[in-house]
């Protein structure tokens, strides 16, 4: 009996850089490049299968990121974000079979580009007040929802957290803890939806050794980079993510 594993070479040609990019994003650039992982894998497999394959990889990355940043996160902010994120995952579970992933991709991609354009064309002044809490609640629910559908929760949550102007390490640590809870909450619904089959799990195991490499790179960058460059790279990653998601959703 053959081992139940994805064997297509093209799949691994896109999966290896996608997982490394996801590791860097999870540990250093919360919304930068990580949301590209599912669209990249979707070049070789379906979107639901890509999301399922990445589940164990995400869990390991979350654990590594939490260990690296265990003393750096903003607990008050985490306590505010997590309940709304869990509401979003519940909505995602209920609507998973009703909404096309392409529709979700287009919405997230368009939102990301609009937010980025607003930040670049009308940069906030140093004394600009942070977004109100109700905006944070809406964006965090949206993040939980898009994270459940396509592991694309980074752009919505960052639209709220970036204006808070946290230090790079605090930004990375807070999102690492937030997404650990969100991703952990998705396991039972994913199993209920039939996505965690042996073929997907076996493929995940093959990709797992790449997770520590990506996280290690992201942690080192987050601790060493100048905040100005941190957010410039973050914006560039959001541009790539938004463009790719919007393109996938429309075409």
Q: Is 224 exposed, middle or buried (0-12, 13-18, 19+ CB in 10 A)?
A: exposed
Q: What does pTM read for this prediction?
A: 0.77
User: 52-66: per-residue pLDDT in tens?
Assistant: 888 888 888 888 878
Q: Select from 46, 52, 25 the least CA-distant residue to 194.
A: 52
| Average pLDDT of the segment spanning 110-139 | 79
| Average pLDDT of the segment spanning 133-145 | 93
DSSP string, 54-123: HHHHHHHHHHHHHHHTTTTS-HHHHHHHHHHHHHHHHHHHHHTTTS-HHHHHHHHHHHHHHHHHHHHHSP
Distance (Å) of CA 245 to CA 37, 67, 248: 11, 30, 5
């Amino acid at each position: 009996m053959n081992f139940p594993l994805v064997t297509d070479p093209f799949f691994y040609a896109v999966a290896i850089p996608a997982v490394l990019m996801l590791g860097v994003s999870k540990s250093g650039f919360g919304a930068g490049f990580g949301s590209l992982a599912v669209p990249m894998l979707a070049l070789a497999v379906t979107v639901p299968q890509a999301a399922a394959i990445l589940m164990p990889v995400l869990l390991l990355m979350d654990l590594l990121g939490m260990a690296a940043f265990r003393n750096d996160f903003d607990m008050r902010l985490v306590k505010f974000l997590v309940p709304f994120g869990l509401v979003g995952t519940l909505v995602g579970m209920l609507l998973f079979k009703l909404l096309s992933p392409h529709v979700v991709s287009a919405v997230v991609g368009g939102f990301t580009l609009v937010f980025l354009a607003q930040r670049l064309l009308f940069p906030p002044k140093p004394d600009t007040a942070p977004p109100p809490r109700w905006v944070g609640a809406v964006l965090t629910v949206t993040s939980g929802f898009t994270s459940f559908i396509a592991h694309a929760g980074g752009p919505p949550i960052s639209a709220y957290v970036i204006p808070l102007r946290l230090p790079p390490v605090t930004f990375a640590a807070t999102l690492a803890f937030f997404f650990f809870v969100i991703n952990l909450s998705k396991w039972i619904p994913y199993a209920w939806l039939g996505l965690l089959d042996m073929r997907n799990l076996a493929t995940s195991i093959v990709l797992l050794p790449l997770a520590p490499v990506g996280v290690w790179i992201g942690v080192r960058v987050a601790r060493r980079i100048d905040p100005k460059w941190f957010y410039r790279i973050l914006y560039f990653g959001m541009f790539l993510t938004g463009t790719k998601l919007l393109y996938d959703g429309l075409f």
